[in-house]
Amino acid sequence: MEASRKDRLRLVFSSAWLAWMLVIATRQIIRFFPAPDAELNGDAYWTYLPNARLFLANPWSFLTTEPSSFYVAPLSYVWPALWGANPVLIQVANSGLYLLSVLLMWRLATRLGGLGAGMVATALLVRFPELTSYVPQVLTEPLYMFGLLLFLAGLVDYVLAGKRRFCWLALATTGLAVTLLARPVLQLFSVMALIGLLCLFMVRYASPNRLSGWERVVNRHTVIALTLALSLPLLTVAKNGLCFDYWGISTGAGSGLFYGVSPFKMGVEPVYGGFGYDAGITAREAAPATQGHPLHVQSDQIQSRAALSIVQSTRFKDNAVFFWFKLKAWMLYGPEDTVMRPRLRQFRLFEWLSIGGAAGCLACRRWRVTRTSGLKTRLPSPDYFTPWRLGLCAFILLLALGMAGQLLPVLYNIRYNIFLLDLLLMPLAGVGIAFMAKVLSANTPRSGWRNPLQFSGGTVLVVLLMALTGALSRSTARDVSWSMDPTRPGPTELVLGPDALGTPTLSNARLISPGAWELSAPATLSVPITLGKPLSFMDGIWRFKLAISARHPNRECMDVAVSLDHPSAETSWYVPRPIIRVNLDGKSHLYAIRGNGALRPSDSGRLNLVFQCPRGTVVQWHGAQLLRSSMPEAVRALVTKGEPINPYRVDDIQQIN
């Protein structure tokens, strides 16, 4: 009777919580649902919808004769085609997938960590910054999200359930197939999993006693299911290979790698650094037959080759620094993301701290059990956090870490980070909070108080962690800075050098030696620029050489604002801060910043650097130069002559006085 009452209360509470989460999710969808006259995103306008219309007009001809059928994954046009390539219907359908994903996240997290885990995970899903803004769009992310959560929920229930296991396995198979056909980022992991599973199955078949206890996972049903999940993607690869001589699900990896290892763009979305998208220009320069289409097969190969050449031509130390920057961006969100949307880093820190806290509690529990007898009854009950549940959590965590490793050389942006990593971390964060709450209430003398204490402890943990991570994120947003390596800007050519720059002057300062001043107050260094002709190129890079010594260093002095008397117009939706972060050690250093938009001169005038430094600061000016990126020409030389791409620029900067 008592158990039945608890089950009813659990059902009522679960239904009420899910209803609340679905209401919040619906309100989020309504908030971000595009207006009828809103512009479509570029991927939808140029790729997904045109492909869907061609597919509807003649499916077989499109799949076998039209190269654009493999420029993107199949479901990116098949799914829109199911809705008649009508943007509004697709947006509504994607919104429906999001609501279903909330239910799947609840199922996944509650099966792993109980009601508390489900509450935290679903709350993260419906309140996560920026996530819902991508849902009512003509994009593949909602479909990928639904497929991923269907796969994970089905897999977890298949391993843990006592009945209807084949139904859950079928759902997991379907979900994995959907992810591979919508956004094939799991293809490498899936193939590796199939190979590993086959090896384990053969070992178990040859010696059944060697893997005793693994029969729930290592069996012929899982082998068949994983093979079926890979069958449609493999058929797609075969179709592309036989019809177009391209043996892959889709192109696009080349441009992702090309942008992802770009030295001056630092591997992040080019607009964050104030730069342009040059993959198409580069492909057209190296191979005119591509017509500048970045998804063309030849373009894809050229971009991949260029990315590999950049990495190979970079010194090990510089590669380590570059990819460490990328790793931090993928794991904690990038610097510009932190400035624009501090809550992104707040939520990511919350996820990592929840997972780390639970891992620490588990390690402590194991240590105490091994060192002291009789403590098991006072620690989290193994009846719920069983080895299988912990093993499944470890699998999802390894998948997230593997995904981060796979993404290191790939273009970084917010959308990829949210959907490829946060969807894996959310259920783990829920489990982490639930586990820590269980630890806190483990020593409760009365069992009837245990559940209320767990709920209260979990609530307190969530509030404290969100407050802590919020403070950390806001602090980071105030201090964050990033820039390219000024000695490794990629292939460049000099546009404005010493001959175009005049003698500098510095306000609120006295000259103490040629090119050096002592500041009496915040000052502006002005350098005359003589422009012989209009500057017309895609990406420009300013390099400065300065030495600054401050008696009382502060953050304001480290941030030097750069401006021009006659700037060009900004054309991008986002304008990065025109600031360089300088060293105050009195030594000469090179610095680099974009030379586009407001930092590209449209006429002769002055280059201005503003120093917000205290009295007594010494500034020594060595010179500046404006470069243009010659990456397209370097890639052409790589393709036509086999010349490796040299990402370094070794010339010194000297001011002619």
What is the model's pLDDT at position 363? Answer: 86
What is the model's pLDDT at position 477? Answer: 84
What is the model's pLDDT at position 379? Answer: 46
- Residue 338 pLDDT class (50, 70, 90 cuts): confident
- Residue 372 pLDDT class (50, 70, 90 cuts): low
Whether the pLDDT of residue 515 is over 60: the answer is yes
Whether the pLDDT of residue 510 is over 70: the answer is yes
Element of type H or E holding 609: strand 605-611
C-alpha 381/C-alpha 272 separation (Å) is 48
Q: For residues 338-366, b (16+ Cβ closer than 10 Å) or e, as one string?
A: bbebbbbbbbbbbbbbbbebbbebbeebe
Mean pLDDT of the region 348-370:
88
Q: For residues 51-79, b (16+ Cβ closer than 10 Å) or e, as one string?
A: bbebbbeeeeebbeebebbbbbbbbbbbb
Whether the pLDDT of residue 1 is over 70: the answer is no
- Residue 366 pLDDT class (50, 70, 90 cuts): confident
* DSSP category for residue 229: H
User: What confidence tens digit (pLDDT) does each residue in 622-631 have?
Assistant: 999 999 999 9
DSSP one-letter string for 6-61: HHHHHHHHHHHHHHHHHHHHHHHHHHHPPPTTPPPPHHIIIIIHHHHHHHHH-HHH
What is the model's pLDDT at position 442? Answer: 67
Mean pLDDT of the region 200-204:
88
DSSP one-letter string for 172-207: HHHHHHHHHHH--TTHHHHHHHHHHHHHHHHHHHH-
- Residue 378 pLDDT class (50, 70, 90 cuts): very low
Percent of the chain at pLDDT exceeding 90: 79
> In residues, how long is the chain?
657
* Sole residue written with tokens 């790939």: 410
DSSP one-letter string for 57-117: H-HHHHHHH-GGGGTS-THHHHHHHHTTT-HHHHHHHHHHHHHHHHHHHHHHHHHHH-HHH
Token reading at 355: 């997972």
Token reading at 569: 């117009």
What is the model's pLDDT at position 444? Answer: 62
- Residue 453 pLDDT class (50, 70, 90 cuts): confident
User: On the CB side of 341, how many CA atoms lie within 13 Å of its CA?
Assistant: 17
Cross-strand partners of 519: 509
Percent of the chain at pLDDT exceeding 70: 95
Token reading at 420: 């490829």
What is the model's pLDDT at position 380? Answer: 46
User: What confidence tens digit (pLDDT) does each residue in 402-415 have?
Assistant: 999 999 999 999 99
